[in-house]
Amino acid sequence: MQITLPEPLEQFVQSRVTELGLDQPDQYIEQLLKEEKQRRLEEYYMKEVQKGLDSGPPIRVTPGFWDDLADEIERECYERRRKVAQ
């Protein structure tokens, strides 16, 4: 990929490369893109956490909760297999 920047931006990028001790401008651009990707992931996860918090009252999650959930899933799978077999 080749990117052409206006002179002021090219000078800015080169100064940042020097300040950060990088060898090439592409390293700086790569760093910016990785930071943007990380920021977007964090935003996504925060939205998902908020959706969970907004989804209703909290429930107590204990080892018994997971056992009950596994039993419920097994029952549902069994019922679905039984219906398909009929």
CB 13 within 8 A of CB 25: yes
User: Would 77 be classed as within a structural domain?
Assistant: yes
User: Would 44 be classed as within a structural domain?
Assistant: yes
Which residue range is the domain that position 55 belongs to?
7-85
User: Would 27 be classed as within a structural domain?
Assistant: yes
User: Would 13 be classed as within a structural domain?
Assistant: yes
User: Would 1 be classed as within a structural domain?
Assistant: no
What is the predicted pLDDT for the residue at 86?
Answer: 80
Structure tokens at 25: 């401008």
User: Would 21 be classed as within a structural domain?
Assistant: yes
- Number of domain units in the chain: 1
User: Would 29 be classed as within a structural domain?
Assistant: yes
Q: Is the full-model pTM beyond 0.75?
A: no
Work out the percent of the chain whose per-residue pLDDT is above 70: 100
pLDDT tens per residue across span 35-69 = 999 999 999 999 999 999 999 998 889 989 999 99
User: Would 2 be classed as within a structural domain?
Assistant: no
